Structure 1
């Protein structure tokens, strides 16, 4: 039975708990930055005095977020619990207090804010996506192809299209013949599939311009190129975006609203990829999306190698800030055991269906 606005002490957050699970991947996840064969799924639970539970997830990777399961556990047990415990989830000051509870640790902060928001949803008989203002619980995601040889990329692409994906994102490395790989994929899937590529900072600016222009001449029809150069090289990112016709999207260069503003003022990138684990939570990501909209920059919501708890929160944000976009939220598709529950999103081909309002938890 749905819970309707519980009152008094029953709403108070009594504690935070961290649960860590290692889940094997269906295939190695390979980018220019790292290779992973398993994912650590780090879930934070926020519990209230009535026993209801809200969940958030912290994406961990030393190479990407700079956080680990151990660092998240320490942050949650210490300063984040100090800020959260004893307060109600609908305390309007709570997101800001979580944000300043400790320096860095964006993924840990995000997990706690998402857990608190999920607990608030449980208390009010709603769902997080509804609290965020989304109108529809359904949205679409792309499917990522790990960096590989042209033949392997083409085989993986055909397989994902047969699974029902209409948008593919191809990871490329500096050591790869990226043009050959993308041409092979385009030949294999035909013109009806949208292709994106993600270099994960693999190229120097001059290399990026040369490779992207070669792809343009090859007629592979890319939707965009993601993070072609180093995250801190905004002049290089600006030079690439100005020199090619293909839209450029910033990912690693963008974490917060201030980063989006800097991107807008110093480059001509067309899109930004926002991630909860980078931004530090729902509130910060919403602000970043608002700045992007104000500057005419498109928003795609992305993820790490995350389980369904993390994807559900990110998809709720995506449904609220850019419902018409095909987002980058296929993390759970990589997991051998996706750890799905009736409280997480459901995944059917390229469609993500967010959970309905929760019952009494």
Structure 2
């Protein structure tokens, strides 16, 4: 596999409504789109989906962009690579920066599958043609407006509701949703907003939540283990989960009963497959989250999330929950509570050149010297 050129687009997709979490407000999705071109003109598409600031995890868009442009892309363009796995092994020379690695791995998988005349689904066992999805709702102080959003989501067929919470915004909002919808799969996502407020979190036990996601500090496995011992509600870890070693720590300490698996955060599909196998072997429930991806990253995630081993509906909502327009020709939409996995070769999407140009604010091309 020889890559001769990489076209690199920096895009900004405005959100229809600002996303409010415990660590800040997002008004647009910034993403970098990688288009790898081989010597025969065939392309592979990937997405760097890191967030703009290092407040979710320490990796953020500008930093991961530098790793890609100064290290990973020059390595990729320097020579012919026998296999995708060979280049992925080369990337291990860089410590961390899993989101940059995941972006380039995505594009390589797309290209490799196209060259083999396969879908990415061919690399994954027990993949379904469509999958149930849930929706993530941000912090909305006006509970009447929140319930309007919940009502709309339920009417559209979403099969799980996730609500962002923080100290002072938790029990009342969740209780109102639970009262209106006693049977819905309901969970809370704290994004590490709590310190040691075990009492306020324990009050959530009576709401029959599917899980409380990442209540305490990132990397604090011990505190989460102590909290889980006090709660009936399962704790789900998100930001804490970067590697197989993290899963081993979670199991050893009892830090959580569920994990949220995100391909960018763990370094891509190959790492995620190993982690998913570990979860199955150790009775650790797992579901798949998202990072407000464009249609490129969303397609790759849908292929992975379509495996039958996941325990809860994925967090990959219809594109029009977040955006007015997407940058692929056939944006993924909700139908009867499910989203279809893109068909066709590779990840199954085609860039809409007009939309890419509309939302692109910077473009570069990197070429092989040979």
Aligned twin of 1:337: 325
Deviation at 1:65, TM superposition (A): 4.2
- CA RMSD for the aligned pairs? 2.3
Aligned pair partner of 1:249 in 236, 243, 264: 236
CA deviation string 1:98-126 (max 9, x = no partner): 2x142332111100001000011111121
Is contact 2:286-2:310 (8 Å) kept? Answer: no
Is contact 2:236-2:259 (8 Å) kept? Answer: yes
CA deviation string 1:30-66 (max 9, x = no partner): 1111210111122112211111111111122222244
Is contact 1:129-1:320 (8 Å) kept? Answer: no
Aligned twin of 1:46: 36
Is the alpha carbon distance of 1:109 and 1:169 closer, same or farther for their aligned partners in structure 2, counting shifts above 3 Å? same
Output the CA distance in 2 between the equivalents of 1:20 and 1:45: 12
Aligned pair partner of 1:310 in 288, 294, 297: 297
Aligned pair partner of 1:192 in 169, 176, 183: 183
Alignment of 1:200-211 (within 5 A): 200-205=191-196, 207=197, 209-211=198-200
Aligned twin of 2:353: none
Deviation at 1:262, TM superposition (A): 0.8
The number of equivalent residue pairs is 343
Deviation at 1:69, TM superposition (A): 4.2
Structure 1: where are the runs of 5+ without partners?
A: 1-10
Aligned pair partner of 1:293 in 264, 268, 280: 280
Asked whether 1:213 is paired with 2:206, we answer: no
Aligned pair partner of 2:248 in 250, 261, 264: 261
Identify which of structures 1 and 2 has the higher relative contact order when contacts are C-alpha pairs closer than 8 Å and 6+ apart.
2
Deviation at 1:29, TM superposition (A): 0.6
CA deviation string 1:228-272 (max 9, x = no partner): 111122121001111111111111111111111111111251111
Aligned pair partner of 2:6 in 5, 9, 16: 16
Alignment of 1:150-189 (within 5 A): 150-176=143-169, 178-188=170-180
Output the CA distance in 2 between the equivalents of 1:212 and 1:53: 48
Is the alpha carbon distance of 1:67 and 1:92 closer, same or farther for their aligned partners in structure 2, counting shifts above 3 Å? closer
Is contact 2:164-2:188 (8 Å) kept? Answer: yes
Output the CA distance in 2 between the equivalents of 1:187 and 1:227: 24
Is contact 1:23-1:39 (8 Å) kept? Answer: yes
Is contact 1:286-1:321 (8 Å) kept? Answer: no
Q: Which stretch of structure 1 is more off in the superposition, 310-319 or 326-335?
A: 326-335
Alignment of 1:77-226 (within 5 A): 77-85=69-77, 86-88=79-81, 90-98=83-91, 100-149=92-141, 150-176=143-169, 178-188=170-180, 190-205=181-196, 207=197, 209-217=198-206, 220-226=207-213
TM-score, normalising length from structure 1? 0.87
Q: Which stretch of structure 1 is more off in the superposition, 130-139 or 118-127?
A: 130-139
Is contact 1:55-1:114 (8 Å) kept? Answer: yes
Aligned twin of 1:270: 257
Q: Which stretch of structure 1 is more off in the superposition, 271-280 or 108-117?
A: 271-280
Aligned twin of 2:362: none
Output the CA distance in 2 between the equivalents of 1:324 and 1:299: 6
Is contact 1:65-1:107 (8 Å) kept? Answer: no
Is contact 1:18-1:73 (8 Å) kept? Answer: no
Per the alignment, in what secondary structure is the counterpart of residue 75 of structure 1? helix
TM-score, normalising length from structure 2? 0.85
Deviation at 1:331, TM superposition (A): 7.6
Asked whether 1:281 is paired with 2:257, we answer: no
